[in-house]
Amino acid sequence: MSWKSFPKVELHLHLEGAADPAFVRGLAAEKSIDIRSIFDGNGAYKYNGFREFLAVYEAATLAIKNPEDFKRLTQSVLENLAEHNVVYAETFVSPDFCGGRDLGAWSEYLAAMQEAHVDGVTLKGIVTCIRHFGPDKARETARCAAKTAGDWLVGFGMAGAEDAGTAGDFSYAFDMARDAGLRLTSHAGEWGGAQSIWDTLQDLNVERIGHGVHAINDPKLVDYLAETGIVLEVNPGSNVALGVYPSLAEHPIAKLRDAGVKVTVSTDDPPFFNTTMTSEFEQLASVFGWGVDDFKQLNQTALEAAFCDAATKDLISKRLETV
């Protein structure tokens, strides 16, 4: 089976984090910005551990400075998705990196991103506040999201360092986004443990959890996720690359799925972790013995959990029927 040609749905993809190193180096050279220190001798992103990864991530965004850059980035990401037959994806975008949370500037960036297009790939956006930037900036980010919610911008979420404040600190931002009709997700349970997932569910009332893998350490939480249908946006390659788990064989995605938890598969920040959706499928098939029916089920779970409208889901469903 060629997993590269297998149609795929991806729900957890950071737009800036999907920027190829060569793309970022090219933009930096155009602007005479020196960020050579974030690359290794082979030209790949260089970091040691999660904190340094965050710093390198934010340094890379320094080269992606204006709406035209983000249009070019989005076009590049769409082309990479098409190469691996990802027929639908939701991408996290941060007004923090698009005009400094100024609504007027953010609107220009957003319009530019929507100009990118590749046949056969549908992309939707989820505005993401950065947890370690604090709740005040998260409110500004939520305001940008609420004012520009629509057909393309369908969700609101939170990324960044899980140990920065509490989930409840960000409830105002999430309430604002919810009132604007945006669907909600948040990173939790990647580094913060099972309690961070409980707190996020209780205080932010999200319907999806980004990562969420440490739920496996709390049987009551596993049961709760299975009973309520809360969906986990799982990123196995990312988790292994950052050392959340030492290997895919020790990753809990299969155990969570066997326990009835709704799991999906995504790449997170693919060039940072040397992964693609094709390699994610290949590795899961190799380590856990998953086959066509398993990946069809994963796609269906992801499509049902997607934040897009019913008409878009019907379109994507037809694309998935090509298997």
**Residue 321 catalytic?**
no
Amino acid identity for residue 302 in this structure = A
What residues have CB less than 8 Å from 297, skipping those under 6 apart? Answer: none
Beta bridge partners of 231: 208, 262
Identity of residue 8: K
CA distance 133 to 111: 25
Catalytic residue among 90, 140, 190, 233: 190
Q: How far is CA 116 from CA 79, 91, 155, in A?
A: 10, 13, 19
| Whole-angstrom distance, CA of residue 235 vs CA of residue 212 | 10
Say if residues 269 and 231 touch (Cβ distance below 8 Å): no
Q: Which of 312, 318, 254 is nearest to 283 (CA)?
A: 254
Helices 194-204, 171-179: inter-axial angle, 10-degree rounding: 50
Tell me the residue type at 253.
I
Output the CA–CA distances (angstroms, integers) from residue 147 to 67, 91, 134, 170, 323, in the order listed: 18, 18, 20, 18, 39
In what order do the strands lie in the sheet containing 153-159? 8-14, 86-93, 122-130, 153-159, 183-188, 208-211, 231-234, 262-265
Q: Which residues are catalytic?
A: 190
